[in-house]
Structure 1
């Protein structure tokens, strides 16, 4: 699904190591995201961009009453998601995955709720996904979206190798049709798509010496996140292997400093159909 069409490039790739990273990511940042989501009154949930089922697993764990339909554009991810769900003991009565383009949904049912997490940043015209969902949601269905706001990323001390890599990483995501600041636009996008009672919150991390263990864990996660884009960035000539290594070494240095600080905010939106 790569080819020469920039709309079909995914900065993190679909390698097995990336599929495992997605599962790790979901667990590391579970609480900051899910502690502010309420699906207790939802029975049937539409998950857009379900990937390898990393978020699906958490959704089913937190709200066991859910029946989830995951929509995913990449068949490799669906195969991995089915494997993961089987290991967890979930059959089609609890979760199914549909191979479709979320901009042109064709589903036989309507849902009580919808969930999108770390997906809209990767697509051009995210408004089309939000519009495509509407006919498949019941009146009053709750929509929960969590998205990136990468301009908020900051570390102390500032590490030039990290910030240089981060800029190139984000610029490349823009060049292939994504938006690394999409979180800031969620309110306007939802309103334009016709949703109502839109609420936004800023979540994320501000970690220093007082949260040493969590800081270590999140810095490791963030190093892996940035590294996951390296193969494509190198292939496209955006960064060199030397720049990747310098970024990774700088992240390790931050982990070694008790006085280091990590700061990042994501944006969550809740709205109703």
Structure 2
């Protein structure tokens, strides 16, 4: 699987992924629970940030979590000790499962529909897939800032240059139907944070989204996508949206489908 993970594999990114998963657990995982004894595949589990929430909501399911990164799997095993972890490329996976779960993976792949089509071959007839992705184009905030928007746009550009799509959330319906899934349904899961929701301000605005943008600053400047001063101003303005009268909005998309 050719994937360029633009955010890197350093400890701050692992911490950010954990903050994101914990802050958004109810928003993203509500409605997802698998029956006891069912065979569930989590494709692209990374450091296991989402895995622990799958286990908590479906304690009787048999969960196999797979990732291409040995370093990420080492951290995932510490988070969820009851899960069967495997190191493998998505396109090398085999076996048969009742359900497949994919979260924040397709955005990093150059051929997401091809990946979904392969995952479909791993499902038994009647099996289901759940896919969750973000869409950086859905981010808007107060106070408005051209510098902050430019920083977000740099992240979108860097992910595209790496072969991914940071705007993929809006594409889930055509991707799943194009991969052969039936009964596809997509719904938005929206995050809105202001001073009346301090947990979201800290967990999402600051520690998830702003941290994600801030983490690619060195690369953005090195590639000439931003000046050092412009980037610093953009990050500062993003932090400003999580202070005082600042507000921040973002939409994730959660899709489900089945194999007939």
* Both structures adopt the same fold (TM-score exceeding 0.5): yes
How far the C-alpha of 1:240 sits from its partner, in A, is 4.2
Out of 193, 214, 217, the residue aligned to residue 200 of structure 2 is 214
Out of 101, 109, 129, the residue aligned to residue 115 of structure 1 is 101
How far the C-alpha of 1:35 sits from its partner, in A, is 1.2
How far the C-alpha of 1:212 sits from its partner, in A, is 4.5
Which sections of structure 2, spanning at least 5 residues, go unmatched?
A: none
Contact 1:200 1:267 in 2 (8 A): yes
Q: Which residue of 2 aligns with 1:63?
A: 58
Q: Which residue of 1 aligns with 2:18?
A: 23
Q: Which residue of 1 aligns with 2:210?
A: 223
Contact 1:13 1:232 in 2 (8 A): no
Range with bigger deviation, 14-23 or 217-226? 217-226
Range with bigger deviation, 132-141 or 209-218? 209-218
Contact 1:165 1:244 in 2 (8 A): yes
Out of 256, 270, 273, the residue aligned to residue 243 of structure 2 is 256
1:242 matches 2:229: yes
1:186 matches 2:181: no
Q: Which residue of 1 aligns with 2:71?
A: 76
Q: Which residue of 1 aligns with 2:155?
A: 169
Range with bigger deviation, 249-258 or 167-176? 249-258
How far the C-alpha of 1:199 sits from its partner, in A, is 0.7
How far the C-alpha of 1:44 sits from its partner, in A, is 1.4
Say if 1:229 and 1:67 are closer, same or farther in 2 by CA, change over 3 A. farther
Using the alignment, how far apart are the partners of 1:245 and 1:42 within structure 2? 50
Range with bigger deviation, 149-158 or 211-220? 211-220
Say if 1:243 and 1:15 are closer, same or farther in 2 by CA, change over 3 A. farther
Contact 1:11 1:232 in 2 (8 A): no
How far the C-alpha of 1:142 sits from its partner, in A, is 1.5
Measured against aligned partners, the alpha-carbon deviations of 1:119-151 in whole angstroms (never above 9, x if no partner) come to: 100110101111111221111111110111221
TM-score by length of 2: 0.91
TM-score by length of 1: 0.87
Contact 2:184 2:257 in 1 (8 A): yes
Q: Which residue of 2 aligns with 1:4?
A: none
Q: Which residue of 2 aligns with 1:95?
A: 83
Contact 2:107 2:133 in 1 (8 A): yes
Which sections of structure 1, spanning at least 5 residues, go unmatched?
A: 2-6
SS at match of 1:174: helix
Using the alignment, how far apart are the partners of 2:199 and 2:19 within structure 1? 16
1:44 matches 2:31: no
How far the C-alpha of 1:60 sits from its partner, in A, is 0.5
Say if 1:137 and 1:80 are closer, same or farther in 2 by CA, change over 3 A. same
Using the alignment, how far apart are the partners of 1:41 and 1:191 within structure 2? 28
Q: Which residue of 2 aligns with 1:14?
A: 9
How far the C-alpha of 1:244 sits from its partner, in A, is 3.6
Higher relative helix content: 1
Count of residue pairs brought into register by the alignment: 258
Using the alignment, how far apart are the partners of 2:63 and 2:228 within structure 1? 40
How far the C-alpha of 1:54 sits from its partner, in A, is 0.7
Out of 129, 133, 153, the residue aligned to residue 139 of structure 2 is 153
